[in-house]
């Protein structure tokens, strides 16, 4: 199915990307040709094929990895906020949330 | 040694590496050594430091001089000169007091800038992390340090490891030391160049769809992507989490095996790291290739393969035959679907992984956004480069309501067909031999306007990530234009020992010993 400019604007909203008009136009064209190529997968009948487990191993073991639930020290507020563009008193500061 | 003046930090751009203010004598020694850096194996370095015929500090200075002199190649984003020299002094002191030296003692290692080191700026090649100083260190890097390696800096790469040419870095493209008008490959281009041009003994890269093997091939060095889960990814900035794997690049199979010995194995900080026993990958290199069954998949020798590359790969396979290996015709029938599967799965996972870059906790934030929502979307538009945005868009689309089953779900099913292809092929062979890249290094700018054509340059490497098996690239000759050509060998899950032994035998038979000449004229 062809991808439209409206589709691209909607995806950009979902992905939290404020695209310029040029970017929207370029992505409409480029994603269209990439998706055309991807449609090649429709050649294959996969009705009876299982989905791969994202992290399968040699043994075919698909058990979830588990660990003991023990308390370990975390980073702490100072280290956790050290890289923040804006922080105060151990908190991250952001522009206003309501009214956006 | 002066640090980055005024910055008060150990990290600084390659171009700003300070010159040692040492004596004339020390610079003569350095000159002598840097000419040899590519010749010094990890084993030799350790033995000579232990015998006091080589000083770790002099070797480290030689590497730093070389990095400075070849800054035009743009292989490094950050050079950690002070920390490297301090580490080298420790090693020399240990050698002087006769302490036993750890296995990688004195080896100069460069780290791709998508692995975190506590207190050292880590950018992942992105503007959005231009000032990020992580509070912790990646397990693979920590294990290298424990083994005595000297970390000399962080190498340039495609932004968030997304690219095949290193032209997607916010810190400028990396140039190929064999011909500075050409790309080094990507995304671990800086790591491959650091090794090829003698700026480091070895380097760590990461490989999601070929990002270790393809630049290794284009730069004439050895690079291995281990089995998924063989090396801890704790501290590797995530791209495609079901595909990403850390691995070494070096000048020889023995050196990559030695590094793998130090970094492989279970890590409780990465729940996807495997607890399957590791092997001694260096000891495993012993033994010949007689009786080895080498699979040749016809699907990898079709349209799009450069005839010169084909001729070199076929000659290398002939060498296996001469060594007593058995050449077996195998099929990997779903190969033609690998690129579309990869660009759905990798982008879907990337769109999710990169959601964390929102201008709140670290990195770049767009100025003057009146609301939180606008701050997010402007930060991300200004902070990410074009290829990263393109992939986030594609991945978001593939995961969005109404398309999930048609795209992501379908891709997962075809991925399992590709994995089955490998399991079936390995029933009749021990390793599989293919080209690493369809062509030698292409020119800077040659493919930047056509994302799809760029994606097709990964056609022989991405199947290996989709199947989760290990793959190694090693140089097998030069093109008529003097550019290196790599051959890829693929092994069974967690069978790096046999894979590296096959690679070692082929390396010995090919005896590739050309060195990039272009760098000497820079």
Q: What is the pLDDT of residues A14-29, one digit of tens each?
A: 999 999 999 999 999 9
User: Catalytic residue positions of B?
Assistant: 112, 187, 211
**Residue B221 resides in a domain:** yes
Q: Is residue B396 part of a domain?
A: no
Angle at the Cα of B93 (from B91 to B97), degrees rounded to 5?
120
Using alpha carbons, list the distances in angstroms from residue A56 to A52, B276, B319, B433, B471: 8, 13, 34, 24, 17
Give me the domain span that covers residue B185. Answer: 31-299+309-331+430-436+472-521
Residue B239 binned pLDDT confidence (cut-offs 50, 70, 90): very high
For residue A18, give the nearest of B339, B381, B390 by CB distance. B381
Asked whether the predicted pLDDT for residue B501 surpasses 50, the reply is yes
* Helices B496-510 & B307-322 angle (0-180, nearest 10): 100
Q: How far is CA B375 from CA A8, A20, A93, B463, in A?
A: 20, 15, 12, 38
pLDDT at A2: 80
In a domain, B12, yes or no: no
Residue B155 maps to a domain: yes
Do A44 and B417 make contact, defined as CB atoms within 8 angstroms?
yes
Average pLDDT over residues B68-72: 95
Mutation target for A interface from B137, B397, B409: give the one with most A CBs within 10 A.
Answer: B397
Q: Report CB contact under 8 Å: B363, A83.
A: yes
Report strand pairing: B431-435 vs B484-490: antiparallel
pLDDT mean across residues, chain B? 92
Residue B180 has a pLDDT of 95
Does position B10 have pLDDT exceeding 80, yes or no? no
**Continuous segment of H or E residues that includes residue B296:** strand B293-297
| Mean pLDDT within B489-497 | 97
Structural fold of domain A5-42: Histone, subunit A (1.10.20)
pTM of the model: 0.93
Tell me if B143 sits within 8 A of B263, measured CB to CB: yes
Residues of chain A with C-beta less than 8 angstroms from the C-beta of B393: 8, 11-12, 15, 17, 27, 31
Dist CA B447 CA B165 (whole Å):
9
Residues of B in contact with A14 (CB under 8 A): 396, 400
> Region B155-183: what's the mean pLDDT?
97
User: How many Å apart are CA B258 and CA B104, to the nearest integer?
Assistant: 8
8 Å CB contact between B185 and B461: no
Using the predicted structure, report yes or no on whether residue B467 has a pLDDT greater than 70. yes
DSSP string, B328-371: EEE--TTGGGHHHHHHHHHHHHHHHHGGG-SSSSSS---S--SB
Per residue in B394-433, pLDDT (tens digit) is 999 999 988 898 999 999 999 999 999 999 999 999 999 9
Look at chain B and report how many structural domains it folds into: 1
Count of other CB atoms within 10 angstroms of residue B496: 27
B389 touches chain A (CB under 8 A): yes
- For residue range B259-308, list pLDDT tens digits in order: 999 999 999 999 889 989 999 999 999 999 999 999 999 999 988 899 99
How many angstroms separate the Cα of B515 from the Cα of each of A1, B25, B473? 50, 27, 17
Q: What is the pLDDT of residue B21?
A: 39
> For B203-232, what is each residue's pLDDT tens digit?
999 999 999 999 999 999 999 999 999 999
Q: Is this prediction's ipTM beyond 0.85?
A: yes
C-beta separation of B354 from B160 below 8 A: yes
Residue B248, domain CATH = 3.90.1300.10
Confidence band of A53 (pLDDT split at 50, 70, 90): low
* B344 with A38: Cβ contact below 8 A: yes
- Give the distance from residue A5's alpha carbon to the nearest chain B alpha carbon, in angstroms: 13
Report if residue B345 sits inside a domain: no
- Tell me the residues of chain B between 436 and 465 that have a Cβ less than 8 Å away from chain A: 451-452, 455
Q: How far is B392 from chain A (nearest CA, A)?
A: 7
Give how far A1 is from chain B: nearest CA, Å. Answer: 11
Alpha helices in B426-495 (DSSP H): 451-456, 462-467
Phi, psi (deg, nearest 5) at residue B281: -70, -20
Residues B431-453 have a mean pLDDT of 93
For the stretch B507-516, pLDDT in tens is: 999 999 998 9
Domain residues of chain A, as ranges? 5-42
Assigned domain for B404 exists: no
d(CA A13, CA A7): 10
């Amino acid at each position: 199915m062809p991808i439209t400019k409206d589709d691209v604007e909607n995806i950009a909203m979902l992905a939290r990307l404020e695209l310029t008009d040029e970017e929207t136009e370029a992505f409409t064209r480029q994603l269209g040709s990439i998706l055309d190529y991807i449609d090649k997968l429709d050649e294959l009948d996969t009705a009876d094929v299982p989905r791969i487990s994202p992290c399968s191993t040699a043994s075919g073991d698909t058990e979830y990895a588990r660990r003991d639930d023990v308390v370990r020290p975390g980073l702490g507020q100072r280290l956790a906020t050290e890289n923040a563009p804006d922080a105060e008193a151990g908190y991250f500061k952001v522009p206003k949330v309501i009214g956006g | 040694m002066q640090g980055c003046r005024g910055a008060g930090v150990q990290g600084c751009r390659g171009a700003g590496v300070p010159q040692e203010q040492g004596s004339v004598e020390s610079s003569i020694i350095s000159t002598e050594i840097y000419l040899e850096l590519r010749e010094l194996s990890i084993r030799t370095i350790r033995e000579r430091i232990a015998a006091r015929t080589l000083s770790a500090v002099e070797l480290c200075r030689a590497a730093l001089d070389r990095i400075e002199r070849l800054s035009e190649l743009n292989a490094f984003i950050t050079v950690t000169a002070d920390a490297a020299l301090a580490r080298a002094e420790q090693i020399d002191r240990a050698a002087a007091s006769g302490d036993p030296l750890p296995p990688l003692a004195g080896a100069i290692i460069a780290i791709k800038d998508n692995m975190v080191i506590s207190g050292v700026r880590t950018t992942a090649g992105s503007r959005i992390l231009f000032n990020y100083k992580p509070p912790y260190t990646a397990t693979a890097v920590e294990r290298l340090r424990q083994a005595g390696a000297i970390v000399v800096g962080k190498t340039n790469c495609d932004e968030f490891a997304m690219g095949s040419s290193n032209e997607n870095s916010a810190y400028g493209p990396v140039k190929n030391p064999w011909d500075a008008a050409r790309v080094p490959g990507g995304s671990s281009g800086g790591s491959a160049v650091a090794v090829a041009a003698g700026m480091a003994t070895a380097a760590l890269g990461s490989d999601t769809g070929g990002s270790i093997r393809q630049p290794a091939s284009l730069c004439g060095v050895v690079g291995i992507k281990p089995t998924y889960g063989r090396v801890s990814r704790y501290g590797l900035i995530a791209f495609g989490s079901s595909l990403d794997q850390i691995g070494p690049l070096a000048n020889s199979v023995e050196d990559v095996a030695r590094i793998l010995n130090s970094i492989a194995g279970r890590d409780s900080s990465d729940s996807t790291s495997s607890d399957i026993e590791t092997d001694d990958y260096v000891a495993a290199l012993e033994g010949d290739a007689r009786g080895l069954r080498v699979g040749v998949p016809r699907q990898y020798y079709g349209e799009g393969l450069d005839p010169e590359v084909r001729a070199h790969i076929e000659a290398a396979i002939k060498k296996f035959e001469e060594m007593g290996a058995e050449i077996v015709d195998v099929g990997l029938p779903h190969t033609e679907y690998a690129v579309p599967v990869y660009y759905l799965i990798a982008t879907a996972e990337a769109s999710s992984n990169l959601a964390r870059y929102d201008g709140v906790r670290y990195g770049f934030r767009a100025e003057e956004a009146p609301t939180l929502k606008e701050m997010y979307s402007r930060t991300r538009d200004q902070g990410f480069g074009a290829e990263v945005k393109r992939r986030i868009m594609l991945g978001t689309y593939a995961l969005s309501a109404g398309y999930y089953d048609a795209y992501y779900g379908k891709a997962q099913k075809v991925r399992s067909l590709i994995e089955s292809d490998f399991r079936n092929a390995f029933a009749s062979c021990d390793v599989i031999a293919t080209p690493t890249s369809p062509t030698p290094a292409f020119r800077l700018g040659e493919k930047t306007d056509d994302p799809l054509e760029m994606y097709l340059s990964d056609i022989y490497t991405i199947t290996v990530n989709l199947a989760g098996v290990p793959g190694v690239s090693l140089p097998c000759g030069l093109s008529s234009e003097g550019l290196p050509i790599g051959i890829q060998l693929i092994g069974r899950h967690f069978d790096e020992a046999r894979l590296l032994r096959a690679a070692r035998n082929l390396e010995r038979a090919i005896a590739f010993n050309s060195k990039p000449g272009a760098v000497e004229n820079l």
